Structure 1
Amino acid sequence: MEKNKILSPNQFRFTKGKSSTDAMFSLIKNIVQNLDRGNSTVGMFFDLTKAFDMIDQNILLEKLSCLGLRGVSHSWIKSFLCGRGHMVKIPYIDKFGCKQVAQSSTTSTLRGVPQDSVLGPILFLLFINDLPSCVQNESICLYADDTSISISTRDRPELEVRAYEQTSALVQWFNENELILNSAKTQILDFNIRNPSNNDIPMFLVEDQEISPCSVTKFLGVNIDRNLKFDQQVDSVCRRLSSGVFVLKRLGTFAETEVLLSAYYGLIHPFLSYGVAIWGYECARTHFLFRLQKKAVRAIFKKPNRFFCKSLFKDHKILTFPSIFILNTVIFVRNNLSLFSSETETNNYNLRTKNKITIPKHRTEFFKNHLVYNGVRLYNALPDSLRSMSSDRSFKKGVKGLLMDECCYSVGEFLLQR
């Protein structure tokens, strides 16, 4: 599939070299650029009911045939899918205290793909692969069955009409492919750099159901708000960190430092790093987040509240939150140079040389808070020796070593040292 480029470039799940951060960037980059240009923009996040279990096997087999899978291979896939028996087993304890199992009769189904197999997710991707073709001139993002689109217009009155047209096209595709759209869980964000009055917020029709835009939605585990400030996301991570700090302090009453460090990388670090290149730009809220991280480090090494932590970060090779943000951001840029270079000019087409990426043109300060801008800025700030590395693994190791040595307490501090 990779060799023949069968899968849609809009699909980010179960795809080699792509992650949830790639999916978020694909959608958010388009939204940020349109808001910066002054366009009216909405994001629509569709929820499908049990998509993997609702796949019509006959439709899937027909699509596989259209993709060129015929003959023995097609028959093998048909044998893999069809005629599978399903039953339900419920263990229980009888009145004599003995373990028993209640078992239903076996039944077969013509729907669904096995999710507990290697082939099942691939078949699902092929089933949904033609979905992006039904949406014209809009940014669409697929993460398995999670379907999201952003719609932008220059004139505000056109927005509702365009949204209705594109939504109708998606609903028609869902109906033709016998997938069930859950309109009640479908969410819409009416993006705006400023907070408009309630009179300016439009209503949108999805399957003849009127939906009012919400103020925040969760997209691939990250809370996205209508102003793209990610305040709710940072607050959510802060709550996770506060709970983690509490656990570390309790563990500290009887556990050794090595155990507490392991707990830190299970309770604290994952929340600081997941999707951070998207939401972790420097602001008052992320400063508070960093303070919570320092509380966690003090708890690990049993230091008082006002103890200066920089030596602890450096000696034990723990990345500060600003360093985690910088590391994830520059690695993302490195892995996706074509996404940044396509809209910028460089002095040479070989982007892995010492040449820097030109900062994309923009009109607003809002633009500077997002990966499409600060990713380029941070990548350009790296030493030439790092940017010119041919190996991605060596690049990551080199950047991580640099950040551990410098132990930056802010993104601004990192940039000032360049």
Structure 2
Amino acid sequence: MGSTLLPITMESRSTPTLSSATAMPNPMNNDQLFAGCRYQEQPGAPHKTALAYASSQINGARLIECPFFPHGWALDTRRKERAFFFEKHGTGAGVFDLQQQRFVRTIPPFDQRQFYGHGVLAGAGELLLSTESDPQGQGFIGMRDTNTLRYLGDFPSFGARPHDCHLVDNGRVLAVTNGGAKAGESPAPCISYIDVETHQLLDRHDMPGSAFNTGHMVPVSGSTALIASAPRLGLGVDHEGAVSWCHRSEATLRGMPYPQDRLPRLLGEALSIALLPHERLAVVTHPTPGVLTFWRLDDQSLWHSMPVDNVRGVALAGDGHSLWLSHGAQGSLSILRMDGREPSVQPVLRQAPMAGSHLLNYPVALATALASPA
């Protein structure tokens, strides 16, 4: 394991096998896409886990085998080929070489901790921070030396079951989503803003009510962030998710109403978020109903929605105006264009294995990380 690169296809709706992916006319240019994957070498075989990779250079998709199901990542801005991926709610994490498309090594969890899916590099890239929890769900931010991966200690996430995290305020503050305890129990889901140097809580913003967790977030500025939520722990996909805004001047998150005359019931989680900065829009995926929602950044209102089957991952394309989407039962890739009055979706790679929660466009994400103080 580690350096095996496998071409794949999906030959049925339920069982992926190893062969070649079905490519459509390819507008990928220099984009390189990565996403978590579970697959079988043949029908009835045990499921394996991998990081799936697609680019115009290979005209399809391949698998980088690894011992866990990758969810979120942190990019090394000093050794640009390195990326750290984390399992969601599990003991798996590891280092990948994205330029060589190979798995390098695992990152062991501390004590009885579990990784909770995301991480970020701080301290001029010298410190790897990751969301973690103990067996009771208490949240921590683990600290590791970026070069050696030696565990350096931790500080509280100031909530339960922390998941996503981002640096704001020129790298001085860590914003964390804490998913919270089960519905009806404490602590509540919240967003915590933590001083990276002192590890002190600066401010905390609770999710009102007991229906939603706080899952993924995208900072729009140092004082505003968009939040995507699943139903609260213990509630199933027959409950709705949510899209909310966090304003650091307000004590609680501000939920966005779903206009019933414009949207179906958005059951299950609101999952991935991407910004279209030139269009001043945020785009959120809703896999269970198969819907994309578009939110205006300027007045934080719903602009548009459109159906896309089981849409999960979303990432900004290299042109800065389009979005990559992973969707469908087999993780197909499509590109969403914003060149008309309404968005349009063009299939690019059918039956690819990009079925993880998120989609990484490596060149774009790396350029963004290099431009952002850590």
| TM-score using structure 2 length | 0.27
| Higher RCO, Cα 8 Å, sep 6+ | 1
* Higher radius of gyration, 1 or 2: 1
Higher helix share: 1
| TM-score using structure 1 length | 0.25
Higher strand share: 2
